[in-house]
Amino acid sequence: MSSESTAASCLGSTVRSDFPFFEQQPGLVYLNSSAMPLRPRTVLESVSRGFFDPTASASALAEAERRIARFLSVDEEDVQPVMGCHMAFERVYELIHSPERNVYLTSPFAHKAALTPLDRWQRRGWVRRLPLQLDASGRTDVSALAERLGPEVRAVVVNHVASVTGAVEPLEDIAALLKDHGERCGRDVLLIVDGAQSVPRLPVDAGVADFYLVASQKCGALPGGVVITSARGRAAIAGSPDPGRGLLATREHLRAGTPHIESVVSLASAFEYLGRLRSGTDTGMVAVERAIAKLTERLLDGLAKVGGIEVLGESRRFNAGIVSFLHRDRSAGELGAALAERGIVVRAGVKDAFDHWFCVPDLPEVHPAVRQRDGAIRASLSFYNTPGDIDRLLAALEEVIS
């Protein structure tokens, strides 16, 4: 099947009219959804309505929280609006802190929003942060994790989907391990999950974690987010197994002040939009997941034919549509600029002021080539992309590299 006929039948071709961006920039190929996905028109309209009717904010917030809970397969009481994920991570760590159990096991792909508070506390001697071991597929090695759950471990911090490699963590297996450990040893090890890249790409049951953080701007909504808190997580905050005290303490400490209502309302609108998507017999996030999977396969097949390209952590079976790669002779900055000149927007992951690539401080420990070659290119696929977008990227790479 040609790329034209494939594009005509894909989800991306049927939804592009829902995004004002494509009306304003019809010639651009946008492959940077991990950093900032495009916003559908319905989300922008929901925000506009909220700004012009502030008297309805309380009821709008309550309804938005109900819709978010349904989308993430949790109860309404589990949804806690926050101003942003960086502050939410810091607040959660503070609320569950225990001097006697001060070890946090963290994914090597953890975003600096999750790591900055822990690293600051580690410098002060309050906590210790130790990296999790990865298996051959680039995901947390659950067997190795089981051997590290000593009495001093307070929490395990992972990305549901790694923002560099697209690797999907085995959350259910990790959660089952931690539950079994708690029942056997009488010490709960909490599971804290960064869901920034998973929620807009996969069907998600956020209740699998004790704290599941959702960045609303990664879902096509306004900046902000929500934290999904389990009963066990709330008990850790309250220092009590009583459900009522746990919920009261959690809301008191995470909801203090006026919530970012526009962010929560826009997130609910984004979820409603995603839930209405349809491709053949697939609907909602199943349609999204399968559309992205087809594009990912096409991209990986194409990159394998481009000379000098190395894909970081390639694992087709567990990839949620984020592909990072580098070239043996061309820097990420050079490639990114050349692609931009050809109307293709990707993320050129070069070193920032904090000596990080892609906002992932530990990345060079897993993939030293990123530091050796001064960065990598990240192509982040979304359901609004088409096979034609992939083909244009591959053709541009061939032209630039040849």
Pairing of strands 153-159, 190-194: parallel
Give residue 106's pLDDT. Answer: 97
Return the amino acid letter for 217. Q
Do residues 311 and 164 lie in contact, with contact meaning Cβ atoms separated by under 8 Å? no
Do residues 351 and 333 lie in contact, with contact meaning Cβ atoms separated by under 8 Å? no
Sign of CA dihedral 153, 158, 164, 170: positive
Give residue 1's pLDDT. Answer: 44
In 72-125, alpha helices (H): 85-96, 112-123
Please give the structure tokens belonging to residue 63. Answer: 């309804």
Give residue 55's pLDDT. Answer: 74
Spatial distance between the Cα atoms of 330 and 335, rounded to a whole number of angstroms: 7
Spatial distance between the Cα atoms of 369 and 351, rounded to a whole number of angstroms: 13
Do residues 96 and 154 lie in contact, with contact meaning Cβ atoms separated by under 8 Å? yes
Do residues 254 and 90 lie in contact, with contact meaning Cβ atoms separated by under 8 Å? no
pLDDT along the chain (402 residues), means of 10: 54 95 94 94 84 75 94 96 89 94 96 94 96 94 96 97 95 97 94 97 96 96 95 94 92 81 92 96 96 96 94 87 93 93 92 77 88 88 97 96 86
- Main-chain dihedrals φ then ψ at residue 360, nearest 5 degrees: -120, 95
| Number of neighbours of residue 109 by Cβ within 10 angstroms | 29
Spatial distance between the Cα atoms of 111 and 196, rounded to a whole number of angstroms: 10
Nearest to 236 by CA among 205, 261, 211: 211
Give residue 5's pLDDT. Answer: 46
Nearest to 109 by CA among 289, 318, 301: 318
Please give the structure tokens belonging to residue 209. Answer: 């974690």
- β-partners of residue 377 are 325, 348
Residue where the block lists tokens 């939804």: 15
Do residues 217 and 202 lie in contact, with contact meaning Cβ atoms separated by under 8 Å? no
Give residue 51's pLDDT. Answer: 65
Determine the 3-state secondary structure of 320 from DSSP.
coil
Q: What does the DSSP assignment read for 199-261?
A: TTTS---GGGSSEEEEEGGGGTS-S-EEEEE-HHHHHHHHTS--HHHHHHHHHHHHS-S---H
Q: What is the pLDDT of residues 235-286, one digit of tens each?
A: 999 999 999 999 999 988 887 677 888 899 999 999 999 999 999 999 999 9
Please give the structure tokens belonging to residue 10. Answer: 């894909």
Spatial distance between the Cα atoms of 401 and 397, rounded to a whole number of angstroms: 6
Q: What does the DSSP assignment read for 139-156?
A: SB-HHHHHTT--TTEEEE
Q: What is the pLDDT of residues 40-56, one digit of tens each?
A: 999 998 887 766 677 77
